[in-house]
Structure 1
């Protein structure tokens, strides 16, 4: 660690020792710890109260077996997780991820990030995360339904609108949320709509929730560029991924006058100098559930990226990594910097490696960490909870205005906090410290629990 962070070196080493092999969690903790030396120097009472140690230890970790039967009658077994990390500010809030890469370390990294992300929204929600190593890709509707029902048959006893409110994440969209909610309702005999967010509009969902993470990331970029005397309008943009977050980020960039020239999936990336055709992309990814190569086949202005190359080699003014963790490394950062990239915002959770973040800082590239830039999704989930609690439904325009106001508030909080701690323009430090102090103060007020 840097000299400033020597005072938390022992604490970080203790976290690593207590959580062996969980490299993603170690990385997420390290990123926050790198900002805490300044806080402890200014406010030593946080160290005296053991706040950091308590923040790094989840309040509850739930691991369970998920048995289900495939279409051939064969019994399958997956592992389910829910890490209820911190409830100082409100009920645990965070998504469920269904993907083969999911294990306890991934869920803990996501839950740890969620604590600070949720705090930055200013809304009364704590941090948690969950999921399974189940892979929905290639599975039939019946198989996905049976898996979701088995998953909820265990999870239901741990959640509730005042306890823990899951949502979607990678592999968990509206379809999966529907199956999960249906099973919860069936088991509990209650129409407790606030227990899950990301629901369909006709059964308790919120306007703007599908768009929120992508829209929110672009709103954050807009605020960063405005603070630097620039604008999204006229900017050339590259967005990794082609799922929900990426699609809606592309949509909002185009609405604000920018042009997205490249996007990707796990099979490669496509470049379209005329600008990504959003309707075609939606048809391929959402309707056909196809691959990005089909986009290049259907559009004369588009071509696939060279095999072995990276989407971050495509010249761009703004980069939005919206796929998955650690997708943008130091070599990718060098490509972006050399091509004149002006701003990077994390639409996914921890998509940039520590070396990439360091390279951006040294080059003066504006960089927004995921806990700030992609907080729009959970913020709008909290707005969905508000509507459920009041039996109300807001218009798209009203909800989008609320989202934009929240993202502007997060941006300003990060910038002001960075200034306060002598690091103007450092959104990483600003987000980490602002999120930490918000949660730490609540924990102190509640006593040693």
Structure 2
């Protein structure tokens, strides 16, 4: 079917219309659902027994919306809104991150939760999908305010989380420090030690080795498999990475370890180009001190700062690792014009549907976030295993398992793309089809759930 049109399949068309009717203003969620429905038509031809699963799959099992009262440093009581969307538990307990950002609303969290269902399925691990967060700007809070906010958030979440129920992790604005505070309050409320209830914790609380690096590393591992199918590799490649947070910084480090050169990066205040290669250690130091990429550029004679997108730079590989919708049609056309080989999503939904179409028509390989950035949740699931066994695995062991998981995910996606869409390079449709197959089989095996 044509991209953006209604599904030709009558059942899928009815599901799509129901989604629009129930949630008419949730554009992020609509975009992701549309992409999945577009992909799974050929799957239903081979597996008609999964047809009645689709409508249930597009409706979350549970949506929790709650207020978060907290006291700021001046003694004023403030209120934010929190969310947890427990989308699908057919494969295991709900698993997904917690995002603190002013842009967080129900639309964003449902989009991320729906995406998480497929992402988690593609890892091959036994975890369902969910997502949560709050509409707060953590950068505007002092450390004391943020701790009190996390404790208030955890007070509400305590009744909905647990190692066998829902296992939240971090996401944008929520790192190991914040997860530690949330977990600490959770533990006080339940009255016993349950390290498997939250992942992304500090190492001293049972956090897994390599968890901070996992999403960035995993994105690069997936990208290397994409390039291998093109007869290329990262050695000598020019790479642009958006963002300069944890995912982006670790992706840059792994690119360099793979022989590539990071020629551009960005943050919320601008971007920087550096043809001879970004000094990741210096960038990490400056960002850790609250500085920007512009501050970094001032310290590097070969670096140039600007207010534009880093994806207008000439590059061989682009890794958007910041936030949703950062590569639109203009950026996609620039990447095509510059002969970019591949784009892999290190963030959730950073490439708009229009941009994805331009990349596809321009012959640029595209690694969808459902697969390409699954490394974080993969290692979170490994953290759950370590917590259950009261074990600590080495960084080398975790890294070896992460590399295998990402390689296996790529194989699942490629195989489904070839089988159901006749193109092993159509990884977007392949990811949707492969994820759907695994979740649909589990849902069907459970009866009507």
Query: Same fold per TM (> 0.5)?
Result: yes
Equivalent in the alignment of 1:429? 429
* Structure 1 segments of 4+ aligned residues over 4 angstroms from their partners: none
Give 1:258 shift: 0.1
Matches of 1:117 and 1:200 in 2, distance apart?
A: 24
Give the structure 2 partner of residue 152 of structure 1.
154
SS at 2:8 equivalent = helix
Aligned to 1:128: 130
Alignment of 1:73-152 (within 5 A): 73-152=75-154
- Is the 2:118–2:436 contact (alpha carbons within 8 Å) kept by the matching residues of 1? yes
1:357 and 1:227 mapped to 2: Cα distance? 19
Q: Is the 8 A contact 1:66 1:79 kept in 2?
A: yes
Contact 1:5–1:35 (CA<8 Å) still a contact in 2?
A: no
> In 2, Cα distance between the equivalents of 1:222 and 1:425?
14
TM-score normalised to the size of structure 1? Answer: 0.97
1:202 to partner: Cα distance: 1.4
Other-structure match for 2:303: 302
SS at 1:167 equivalent: strand
For residues 12-51 of structure 1, the aligned pairs below 5 Å read 12-47=16-51, 50-51=52-53
Q: Deviations over 1:203-256 (max 9, x none)?
A: 101011000000000000001111221111000000001101000000000000
Is the CA contact 1:5–1:38 (under 8 Å) kept in the aligned structure 2? Answer: no
Name the CA distance, whole Å, in 2 between partners of 1:399 and 1:310: 34
Structure 1: gaps spanning 5 or more residues: none
Report if aligned partners of 1:36, 1:433 keep a CA contact under 8 Å in 2: yes
User: What is the SS of the residue equivalent to 2:240?
Assistant: strand
Aligned to 1:371: 370
Kept after mapping to 1: 8 A contact 2:6/2:13:
no
Contact 2:325–2:350 under 8 Å retained in 1: yes
Runs of 5+ unmatched residues, structure 2 = none
Q: Is the 8 A contact 1:264 1:292 kept in 2?
A: yes
What's the secondary structure of 1:210's corresponding residue?
helix
Give the distance between the partners of 1:294 and 1:349, measured in 2 at CA. Answer: 27
> For this pair of structures, how many residues does the alignment match?
444
Residue 191 (structure 1) shift: 1.2
Q: Residues 376-396 of structure 1, C-alpha deviation per residue, up to 9 Å, x if partnerless?
A: 000000000000000000111
Deviation of 1:134 after TM superposition, in Å, equals 1.1
| Post-superposition offset of 1:138 | 2.4
The structural deviation recorded for 1:5 is 3.2
Measure how far apart 1:4 and its partner are: 9.3
CA contact (8 A) 2:88 2:129 kept: yes
- CA distance in structure 2 between the partners assigned to 1:250 and 1:325 by the alignment: 19
The equivalences for 1:216-235 within 5 A come to 216-235=218-237
TM-aligned CA deviation for residue 16 of structure 1: 1.4
Alignment of 1:318-397 (within 5 A): 318-397=317-396
Aligned to 1:290: 291
Choose from 261, 264, 277 the match for 2:263.
Answer: 261
Q: CA shift at 1:424, angstroms?
A: 2.4
